[in-house]
Every structure is written in C-alpha cells, then in structure tokens.
A and B are shown apart, each in its own frame.
Chain A
Amino acid sequence: MNDQNVNLCGMTRRLMVVRSAALAALLASGIAIGDERIERARAAMKKLIGERAIEDGGITLKTPSIAENGNTVPVSVAVDAPFTADRYVKAIHLFAEENPAPEVASFFFTRASGKASASTRIRLAKTQRVIAIAEFSDGRILRTANEVKVTIGGCGG
C-alpha cells in the first residue's frame, strides 16, 4: 500500500504544503489584526482616562488563568477602598485587548453600593489580556491587567 503521502487527516503532502502556506499567511495577517486591536483598545482606554495619571495595581481582578471556553469566562473585580461621603469608587471598566471590540462592561457604583465589587461572565475571542480600570469620584485612576489563556475562542467576543 502506498499511502505514505496521506496523513492522518486524509490530506496529501501537496495539499499540506498548500495549506501550510495559506496558514502562514493567515497567521501573519492574524498578528497584524492583533496589533491593530491592541491599538484600538489603547485608544478606547485613553479616551476614558484622558490626561489623568494612572496608578498600576490596587484592583483585585479575578480571572481564570486558562479558560477552556472563551464564550463564558468568569470575571470579578473589586477595589478595597472605603465609601465615604466625599470619596468612593465611581466606576470599574473592563476591557479585552484583542476582542473585535475592546469594551467589555462598565460597572457604575454609588455611595449606596457601599463596596466596589462586581462580577460577570465575558467572551474572549482568543488568549489575551483583560484590563480593569477603576475611577474614583475624585478622579484617581487605577489599572490592573490579567492574562487569560483561551483554549476555544468565543466567536461572539
């Protein structure tokens, strides 16, 4: 039997070569798309923050390190800061840098929240960074990011 040119998927060697070339091209364009998306995410975050100074850390951002299903990734965010009459956490924004659109969700708190803590489930198109940005009522900005490895991307992301 001469089936050495047929691999396990039933592809001939020639077809493999053609497909590999196509895959390489696709990957290259994928990287370009990734860069473009990161740029877009930066622009979206910049629009939110403006010229204010950013402090890194200070947000408890909980995400799985590996998400098997990108369609539903649990995320929780919290800022451990007291809610006083003149100062509280006004909002926490979530971004996914390499989704088709970087915005994920924005949580808006009030003094009656009493605590800046929220959770939800999100879609991640691929392995990427999830970024949380917290805004205090006095304008202070905190930022924290987590890398999430995605096994099967959420197409909806």
Chain B
Amino acid sequence: MAKPRVKISKKIKKAEPFEVKTLISHKMESGQRKNEETGENFPRKIINTFICKLDGEEVFRVKLYPAVSANPFLSFYVTAEKSGELEFIWIEDDGTETQYKKSFEVPA
C-alpha cells in the first residue's frame, strides 16, 4: 500500500508524555469525488483505522472517516517508564494492513 513515516520526539523523559508523529502516503478516496469520464463517483477507499502499540499493548487508536485528508498525518502522545518499541498499524477498508516498528530510548 503505502510508505509510512514516523518521527518520535528526541526529548524523552521517564514517565512523561512524548510526541509521536506519523504520516502515510494514501489517496484516502472519499467516495465523494466524481469520475468525469463515467459520471459516477470513485468508490470509497480509505484507511479507516490506525493503531499504535507500546511493547505489544495498544496505547492509541484512531477511527478515520473520509473527511481525513489524503496522506493522513497523525500526531499524539505516549508515556513510557522504560525504553521500548512502538508498533504502528494502518488498516484500509479492504482489510489491508501496513505495519511499521520503531524503538525509542528512555534515559535512565
């Protein structure tokens, strides 16, 4: 599907929320756009779910609707007691999943 990009804050402190930014290339076809050739709308095809897990446990989730722009950008916060790994999952209408993992370090 798409190429994800993830940026995790460099200034992580133990037990304090740090920012995570994600971007994925995707058309987010809303189902409202008209195909001038056929006169019908292009069928809806969007990423409808985003999940972020911290060491395997869900920490943040988004339900996306067609009103989210193409190449959906999401930023949010995560709090961790120790260094770990964040897993990101984007799920499309047809069930296709894109996964990405990125580890981060919490200074002792």
Question: A residues near B, CB below 8 A?
Answer: 71-73, 76, 83, 96, 99-101, 103-110, 112-115, 117-124, 154-157
Using Cβ atoms and an 8 Å threshold, which residues of chain A touch B34? 155
**Residue of chain B at shortest CB distance from A70:** B69
Closest CB in chain A relative to B19 CB, distance in Å: 8
Q: 20 new A-B pairs (CB below 8 Å) besides A112-B59, A114-B78?
A: A72-B69, A76-B75, A96-B67, A100-B32, A104-B67, A104-B68, A105-B64, A107-B61, A108-B60, A110-B58, A112-B79, A113-B17, A113-B59, A113-B78, A119-B75, A120-B73, A122-B69, A123-B66, A154-B69, A156-B28
Dominant SS at the B interface? strand
Given A71-B69, A114-B16, A157-B32: A107 and B78 interface contact (C-beta under 8 Å): no
Using Cβ atoms and an 8 Å threshold, which residues of chain B touch A73? 69
Given A107-B60, A120-B68, A122-B69: A115 and B33 interface contact (C-beta under 8 Å): no
Number of residues of chain B lying within 8 A (CB) of chain A: 33
Count of A-B contacts with CB under 8 A? 111
Give CA–CA (A153, B74) in the complex, Å: 22
Closest CB in chain B relative to A100 CB, distance in Å: 5
Give CA–CA (A59, B74) in the complex, Å: 18
* Inter-subunit contact A114/B68 (CB<8 Å): no
Question: B residues near A, CB below 8 A?
Answer: 15-17, 28-30, 32-34, 54, 57-70, 72-80
* Inter-subunit contact A105/B70 (CB<8 Å): no
Give the most central of A96, A112, A123: most B CB within 10 Å.
A112
* Inter-subunit contact A71/B75 (CB<8 Å): no
Partner of B65, one of A71, A103, A110: A103
**Residue of chain A at shortest CB distance from B57:** A112
Partner of A114, one of B28, B61, B74, B77: B77
* Inter-subunit contact A118/B33 (CB<8 Å): no
Using Cβ atoms and an 8 Å threshold, which residues of chain A touch B60? 107-110, 113, 118
* Inter-subunit contact A123/B68 (CB<8 Å): yes
Using Cβ atoms and an 8 Å threshold, which residues of chain B touch A114? 15-17, 77-79
* Inter-subunit contact A121/B73 (CB<8 Å): yes
Given A106-B62, A112-B57, A114-B79: A121 and B67 interface contact (C-beta under 8 Å): no
